[in-house]
Amino acid sequence: MLLVLPALIPVVLFSVYPLAQGILLGFTDAKAGLGVPVTFNGIENYTRLAGNELFWNSFRIGLIWAFGVTILQFFASLGLALLLNLDLRFRWLARTLALVPWAMPPVVIAIMWRLMLNPTYGPVNGGLEAIGLSGDINWLGDFSTALPAVIVVGVWAGMPQTTVTLLAGLQNVPTELHEAAAIDGASVWQRFWHVTLPALRPIIVAITTLDLIWNFNSFALIYVLTAGGPGGQTMLPMLFAYNEAFRYGNFGYAAAMGNVMVIVIAVFLFVYLRSQARSRVS
């Protein structure tokens, strides 16, 4: 109990209390500015939200973004972690490169990819042109390519955390188990499926859960890449709520959006974690 106390106090003061207040704000008509009276308006925010098509569209985009990035990121990172766990030459190069995005601020990553995807100057279009394809795609400005393009950037940006975590997990898999399985004649694939994967499972569950939450709540990358454009095609819920709160000053309405986001993401996590907990028991 004594050990937990130092961690408990700041969390309660600056996390639990503001959070509780934030949830309450979602049921008020609070606005920015001093001296504006705040009154509870019950579920009025939510009935307004239910009819707000822009918000639901942003929600749909947020889910596509979060799941798309998390899933691609997981497979790409698992592959890389497995490679890094082998005794390959140039492993150090891949390992170093894989760590670099982690050290980069999302704002810098966004700036870098704006350069990469620049329609006239960027090397992505340059490369397409070099192999004979049309090289005048406005990746971040076109309705059909903006969301896929930012998802690729999201995968690039989030790979280090996932890779390092998975690699740490791989290194914790006891080699004795691998040796025993190999002696029993298990193939490489069988060893992966029956030895590596079960040992890795808690870490996989933890990192994919966190990735999903992070991605759903991510802000800086998209804020700098597209600011939600073109025409709201990459308007993640966080950006939408931020605009509502700090551009239009509707604190209460923005908090209500936050409440809805929490409920949806919580439902997804509940289903996911319960299925994982069950399969571990059986």
Neighbours of 247 (CB within 10 A): 10
Binding residues with another protein: total (CB under 8 A): 115
Phi first, then psi: what are they for 133, rounded to 5°?
-95, 170
- Least Å distance between CB 170 and another protein? 8
Q: Which of 168, 198, 231, 271 binds another protein (CB under 8 A)?
A: 168
Q: Give, as ranges, the residues between 249 and 268 that touch another protein (CB under 8 A).
A: 251, 254-255, 257-259, 261-262, 265-266
213 to 242, contacts with another protein by CB under 8 A? 213-214, 216-217, 219-220, 223-224, 237-238, 241-242
Residue whose structure tokens are 């319960």? 274
Cβ contact 201:280 at 8 Å: yes
Taking CA atoms, 123 is separated from 3, 64, 114, 119, 242, in Å, by 53, 27, 11, 9, 33
**3-state percent helix, strand, coil for the chain, nearest multiple of 5:** 70, 0, 25
Instruction: Scan residues 93-152 and list those touching another protein (CB under 8 A).
Output: 93-95, 97-108, 110-116, 118, 121, 123-124, 127, 148, 152
Q: Is 248 in the site for another protein (CB under 8 A)?
A: no
Residue 62 beta carbon to another protein: minimum distance, rounded to whole angstroms: 10
Task: Identify the residue among 64, 76, 147, 204 touching another protein (CB under 8 A).
Answer: 76
Considering only the stretches 46-54, 189-197, 274-282, report the one whose residues sit in contact with another protein under the rule CB under 8 A: 189-197
Nearer to another protein, 45 or 196 (CB): 196
Query: Looking at 46, 56, 67, 192, which residue binds another protein (CB under 8 A)?
Result: 192
Residues from 35 through 64 that contact another protein (CB under 8 A): none
Written as one letter, the residue type at 156 is W
SS3 256: helix
DSSP-derived secondary structure for 81-116: HHHHTS--TTHHHHHHHHHHHHHS-HHHHHHHHHHH
